[in-house]
């Protein structure tokens, strides 16, 4: 059963759900008594009439708040969404000093407009719950069952509905601080919000797919070739960063773990210390170490090993290789730590029996250690890979994505990842629209890779094969 048929099954489910809901609403209306019918208009009425005070008051309050919000705030922003503002800001020079008169603010219109749309959706959902509760009241009355009281409602919050209580605050947080901004930025990708169109001084408006066309356009001023260059390096980097660290870290862990090596704890501690030191400190120092006039070049010149300083950071290829190596330096301790923990749990008798059968070290590694490690850390590899796709710190603190070139537009450099390019577009160029488009592209890349790997993963998780 592939993902495609699952998706279409999901969509079918959704539609049939909506159909069922509409039907149920209709039934509630026709079969309900006058209190239920009034509840369609005044939320919470039915509950109040049946002495479910807590529920009734809550629903009534929701309705009043919603109406108040829409009238005083939401409606005007919602109305502005199609145009994103029509009155521009201007400067009134008629008085002693110039005074700025502010017009529409496209940013706020978009932001609050989206918020209002969500509020409306939430309200519709709550209204639906209100209707369903009235239906429940009708059914209970018909069956002669007792209606749940307010006290029982409160208790259920810490019992059956405890999970909902727990999830309320996190969900709210995620909605306001993640979902809303993401939808906002996705919308920005379809506008022309950049340095020339910045509220409150100027308006921005919808431009459809123009930005996407720009991203893929080949040509001197287009973003196309730059995008693919950066994308290519991002994938290469993520691959090396993940797998090099993984295998080398494992190798180091095995090396330290070998019998006959003393001071195991010392070696591990030394390596682990590098994790705890903040990256912005160590990376900056390492950056300066490899500068043209830095320590490494200085000593290499002094010892006569080279004639001219090696341009580590100004040559694109050197810079890329150096970044990968430095990332290995940072990443091995993490991997080693993890691998050590796992290795210590592999049953010794597995190795013993293998040794009796005449296997040498390498064979034992391939047949026992590696599959076991992959089994346990498979998911970690995936998250590590997608994490490295977005590994801002290492790249930015080391090279800020430089060196730049005339071949790359938009301020991109040869060591830029998509994410550092996005950051530069946002902060330096205030080119929010292209940044939004690139953000969406990053998401697409991450999603595609994750999906692909999830398909492969189950086969790695084959426990029987492991034995």
| Nearer residue to other proteins within complex by CB, 83 or 171 | 171
Pick the closest to residue 211 from 77, 410, 404, 390 (CA basis).
410
Which of residues 48 and 319 has its CB atom nearest to other proteins in the complex?
319
Residue whose C-alpha is closest to residue 426's, from 179, 188, 83, 209? 188
C-alpha span between 112 and 85 (Å, rounded): 13
| Least Cβ distance, residue 215 to other proteins (angstroms) | 15
Q: Which token pair is 189?
A: 């990708």
| Residue number with CB closer to other proteins (60 or 300) | 300
C-alpha angle 37-39-44 in degrees, rounded to nearest 5: 160
Residue closer to other proteins by CB (options 36, 242) is 242
What's the min distance (Å) between Cβ of 70 and other proteins?
19
Q: How far is the CB of 95 from other proteins (least distance, A)?
A: 6
CB of 308: closest distance to other proteins in angstroms?
A: 5
- Shortest separation between residue 314's beta carbon and other proteins, angstroms: 4
**Do residues 81 and 113 make contact, with C-beta atoms less than 8 angstroms apart?**
yes
Give the shortest CB-57-to-other proteins separation in angstroms. Answer: 23
Of the pair 207, 390, the CB lying nearest other proteins is at: 390
**What are 182's two structure tokens?**
């993401």
Which residue lies nearer to other proteins by CB, 216 or 375?
A: 375
Instruction: Dump the DSSP string for 294-333.
Output: SHHHHHHHHTTS-SS---TTTSHHHHHHHHHHHHHHHHHH
CB of 214: closest distance to other proteins in angstroms? 13
DSSP collapsed to 3 states, 355-373? HHCCCCHHHHHHHHHHHHH
Q: Identify which of residues 78 and 188 has a Cβ nearer to other proteins in the complex.
A: 188
Distance CA 180, CA 112 (A): 10
Q: Which residues of 396-426 are buried (b: 16+ CB within 10 A; e: fewer)?
A: bbbbbbbbbeeebbbbbbbbbbbbbbbbbbb
């Amino acid at each position: 059963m592939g993902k495609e048929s699952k998706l279409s099954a999901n969509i079918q489910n959704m539609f049939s759900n909506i159909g069922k809901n509409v039907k149920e609403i209709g039934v509630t209306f026709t079969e309900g008594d006058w209190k239920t019918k009034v509840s369609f208009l005044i939320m919470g009425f039915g509950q109040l009439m049946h002495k479910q005070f807590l529920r009734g008051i809550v629903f009534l309050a929701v309705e009043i708040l919603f109406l108040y919000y829409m009238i005083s705030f939401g409606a005007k922003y919602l109305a502005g969404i199609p145009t994103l503002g029509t009155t521009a800001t201007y400067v009134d020079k008629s008085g002693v000093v110039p005074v700025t008169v502010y017009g529409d603010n496209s940013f706020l219109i978009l932001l609050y407009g989206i918020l209002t749309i969500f509020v409306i959706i939430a309200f519709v959902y709550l209204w639906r719950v209100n209707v369903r509760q009235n239906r429940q009241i009708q059914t209970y009355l018909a069956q002669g069952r007792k209606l749940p009281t307010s006290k029982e409602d409160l208790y259920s919050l810490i019992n059956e509905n405890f999970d909902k209580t727990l999830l309320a605050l996190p969900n709210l947080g995620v909605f306001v601080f993640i979902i809303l901004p993401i939808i906002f930025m996705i919308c920005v990708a379809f506008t022309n919000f950049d340095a020339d169109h910045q509220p409150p001084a100027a308006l921005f408006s919808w431009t459809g797919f123009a930005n996407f066309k720009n991203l893929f356009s080949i040509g001197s001023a287009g973003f196309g070739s730059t995008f693919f260059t950066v994308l290519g390096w991002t994938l290469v980097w993520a691959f090396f960063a993940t797998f090099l660290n993984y295998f080398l870290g494992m190798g180091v862990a095995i090396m330290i773990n070998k019998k006959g090596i003393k001071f195991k704890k010392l070696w591990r501690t030394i390596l682990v210390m590098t994790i705890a030191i903040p990256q912005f400190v160590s990376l900056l120092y390492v950056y300066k170490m490899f500068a043209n006039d830095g320590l490494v070049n200085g000593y290499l010149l002094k010892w006569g090993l080279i004639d001219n300083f090696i341009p580590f950071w100004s040559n694109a290829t050197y810079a890329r290789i150096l970044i990968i190596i430095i990332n290995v330096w940072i990443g091995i301790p993490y991997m080693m730590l993890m691998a050590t923990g796992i290795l210590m749990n592999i049953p010794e008798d597995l190795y013993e029996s293998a040794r009796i059968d005449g296997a040498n070290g390498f064979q034992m590694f391939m047949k026992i250690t590696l599959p076991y490690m992959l089994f346990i850390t498979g998911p970690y590899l995936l998250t590590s890979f997608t994490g490295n796709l977005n590994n801002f710190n290492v790249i930015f603190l080391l090279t800020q994505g430089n060196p730049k070139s005339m071949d790359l537009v938009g301020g991109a450099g040869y060591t830029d990842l998509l994410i550092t390019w996005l950051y530069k577009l946002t902060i330096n160029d205030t080119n929010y629209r292209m940044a939004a488009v690139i953000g969406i592209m990053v998401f697409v890349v991450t999603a595609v890779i994750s999906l692909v790997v999830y398909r492969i993963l189950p086969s790695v998780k084959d426990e029987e094969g492991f034995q």
